[in-house]
């Protein structure tokens, strides 16, 4: 499993990043962190802009909080807040419900996809294969 191919994303494209790629990178997962590293390198070079959902923020902060590492949780939160946080509002909730009803996605996945669609993201970066049915959104996994 090699690094992701970012293909023809335009310079400065906004991508919504799902929880798993962030956690893999932060925790240095030996198999998956290298796969997602190009996405984070492109962001660091100013080639991509990141958005994250509040679900992603909750999932990423869980690890440090379970370890009672408040300082690490604060650092992670600062990073996530520096990206474009997408709050779950009623329009995204309805869109997520429609995705769940038509594609049978899990709730968190439906919220991720609906959020990416709501902000007109160029892509959704994820490790989750359940997004393969979402045809109206470019999935990078």
Per-residue pLDDT tens over the stretch 24-73: 999 999 999 999 999 999 999 999 999 999 999 999 999 999 999 999 99
Within a domain: 70: yes
Specify burial of residue 91 (Cβ count, 10 A radius: 0-12, 13-18, 19+). exposed
Within a domain: 4: no
**5: pLDDT confidence band, cut at 50, 70 and 90?**
confident
Q: Collapse the DSSP code of 50 into the 3-class scheme (helix H, G, I; strand E, B; otherwise coil) and give the result.
A: strand
Within a domain: 16: no
Within a domain: 6: no
pLDDT the model gives residue 79:
96
Within a domain: 8: no
Q: Looking at the 3D structure of the chain, how many domains does it have?
A: 1
pLDDT the model gives residue 2:
66
Within a domain: 101: yes
Query: Which domain covers residue 71, as residue numbers?
Result: 25-140
* Beta strand extents in 89-141 (DSSP E only): 123-125, 139-140
Mean model confidence pLDDT for the chain: 93
Within a domain: 109: yes
Please give the C-alpha separations between residue 75 and each of 70, 81, 112, 129, in angstroms, as whole numbers.
Answer: 9, 10, 23, 29
CATH number at residue 44: 3.40.50.1010
Within a domain: 135: yes
pLDDT the model gives residue 1:
62
């Amino acid at each position: 499993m090699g690094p992701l191919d970012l293909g023809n994303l335009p310079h400065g494209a906004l991508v919504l990043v799902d929880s798993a790629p962030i956690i893999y990178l932060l925790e240095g997962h030996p198999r998956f962190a290298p796969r997602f590293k190009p996405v984070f390198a492109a962001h660091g070079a100013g080639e991509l802009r990141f958005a994250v959902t509040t679900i992603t923020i909750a999932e990423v902060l869980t690890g440090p909080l379970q370890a009672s590492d408040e300082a690490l949780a604060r650092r992670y939160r600062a990073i996530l807040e520096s990206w474009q946080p997408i709050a779950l509002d009623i329009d995204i909730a309805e869109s997520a419900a429609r995705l769940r009803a038509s594609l049978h996605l899990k709730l968190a996945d439906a919220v991720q996809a609906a959020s990416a669609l709501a902000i007109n993201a160029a892509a959704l970066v994820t490790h989750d294969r359940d997004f393969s049915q979402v045809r109206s959104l470019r999935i990078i996994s």
